[in-house]
Each structure stands twice: as C-alpha cells, then as structure tokens.
Chains A and B, each alone.
Chain A
Amino acid sequence: QQPVQSPQAVILREGEDAVINCSSSKALYSVHWYRQKHGEAPVFLMILLKGGEQKGHEKISASFNEKKQQSSLYLTASQLSYSGTYFCGTEFMMDSSYKLIFGSGTRLLVRP
C-alpha cells in the first residue's frame, strides 16, 4: 500500500530545479505533498485531486497522472528554505473510508 518515492535524496545548489516522483499501486483519489524539517511536524504543500483540481503552494507545482497512479513534485529555482524531507501521501478508498498513506520520503538539501 505504501507509495514509492524517488529519488531518495537530492542535493541542489540554490536556484537549481528538482523533481520528486511518487507512484502507487492503488487507485488513488488524491495525492498529498508535505515537507518536514528536522524536529518539526510535516507541513502541507499541495494536494492533487482526481480529475485535475489542485490546491496548494504558490511556488511549487505538481502533476498527477491518474492512469499511472503517479505524481511528481516540481521545485523550481530552489531556495535554501526548501531543504527538508518531502513526503507524498496517497489517499484511496478502503472499506468505505478514505485512507492516507505516506511514502518513505525524499531528502532535499539546497546549498548556497
């Protein structure tokens, strides 16, 4: 059930771009993206809904391929504050309720 994220880690220089991928074996209703900094709780970034609607961060974009059950998070012109671990959460229906399961994360380090 756990989605698979890739890559596991990324190191960037400030201003560079990165793409983080997330794939699931389940039929998804939505994909969530969160960022977690060391010692802090995960913070919501974006949600992508089945059907194409998106809600989230102004400076971060993402895509959701419903046929492949895959999502990608695009970080452009990275800033030092982007450093952290990014988790995708996949939401699917199970036993008449929605369940939110997270991947193991992608560590992103942005250097000056």
Chain B
Amino acid sequence: DTGVSQNPRHKITKRGQNVTFRCDPISEHNRLYWYRQTLGQGPEFLTYFQNEAQLEKSRLLSDRFSAERPKGSFSTLEIQRTEQGDSAMYLCASSPQGGYTEAFFGQGTRLTVV
C-alpha cells in the first residue's frame, strides 16, 4: 500500500484548455474526496464519492468541473475551459467506509492556468 497517488503533480495549461487529473486512493478505501486549496487557505470541499457514487458536489463548482469514479477505484477530475481563477492545488483524499475514520491525502496536483 503506497498511499494516495495523484497525477500529474504539476500542470501548466493555457486559459481555455481542458485538463484532467487522476487520483488513485488507498486500496479498499470506499470514500474519496476532492478538495481545492489556494495559498493560505484550508482545503475547500469540491466533491465526494462513496464507492462509484458521487454523493455531493459543491455549489461552488461551476458546470465546467466534473468528476468520475468508475468501478469505485481511481477517480478523475476534469476542468473544462480553464480560467486563471482555477489555478490552485487540487487534493484528493480517501478513507475507509463509515464515519469516524481519518482521511489520507495525496500529494496534490498543482494547476497553473496562464
């Protein structure tokens, strides 16, 4: 078990382009979270999966953001028509099923939109 893995670690893209990030959670972790973090702020909730079901999507997200978790394993986060305001660190975390369990974070993907 190598922990939560995120790829790529860094992404620089031009405004208007689409980007996709991948998260591989710890095996057998049913819950998977996506967060966005900007400098000096805490992780901001984006969306959440229980197995393959997306249970909630933050109202802060526009329709340009979409996430999937096919077969309840890895997850992808796609941002369409990127804007400069999308520049941030995108963090993925996973935890075992049920409440009262700690979340394990990946190293994140740092997105820079130029």
* Chain B binds chain A: yes
Interface positions of A (Cβ within 8 A of B): 2, 29-30, 32, 34, 40-44, 47, 49-50, 53, 55, 87, 89, 91, 93-95, 97-105
B85 at the interface (CB under 8 A from A): no
B102, A94: Cβ atoms closer than 8 Å: no
B91 at the interface (CB under 8 A from A): yes
A87, B48: Cβ atoms closer than 8 Å: no
A41, B106: Cβ atoms closer than 8 Å: yes
Ordered nearest first, which 8 A-B pairs have the shortest CB separation? A41-B105, A102-B42, A44-B102, A98-B99, A104-B42, A102-B43, A97-B55, A105-B42
CA distance A43 to B44 in the complex (A): 16
- Determine the chain B residues whose CB is within 8 A of the CB of A91 once the complex forms: 99-100
B104 at the interface (CB under 8 A from A): yes
CA distance A80 to B55 in the complex (A): 40
B56, A95: Cβ atoms closer than 8 Å: yes
Taking CB atoms and an 8 Å cut-off, the chain B residues in 48-86 that contact chain A are 48, 50, 55-56
Point out the residue from B40, B56, B103 that lies within 8 Å of A89, measured CB to CB. B103
B55, A42: Cβ atoms closer than 8 Å: no
B103, A49: Cβ atoms closer than 8 Å: no
- Determine the chain B residues whose CB is within 8 A of the CB of A105 once the complex forms: 40-42
A99, B48: Cβ atoms closer than 8 Å: yes
CA distance A95 to B55 in the complex (A): 8
Point out the residue from B31, B45, B105 that lies within 8 Å of A101, measured CB to CB. B45
- Determine the chain B residues whose CB is within 8 A of the CB of A94 once the complex forms: 56
- Determine the chain A residues whose CB is within 8 A of the CB of B105 once the complex forms: 34, 41-43
Residue of B nearest to A103 (CB): B42
Measured between C-beta atoms, what is the minimum distance from B37 to chain A in Å?
A: 9
Measured between C-beta atoms, what is the minimum distance from A111 to chain B in Å?
A: 20
- Determine the chain B residues whose CB is within 8 A of the CB of A40 once the complex forms: 107
**Centre residue among B40, B93, B99 by max chain A CB count within 10 A:** B99
B21 at the interface (CB under 8 A from A): no
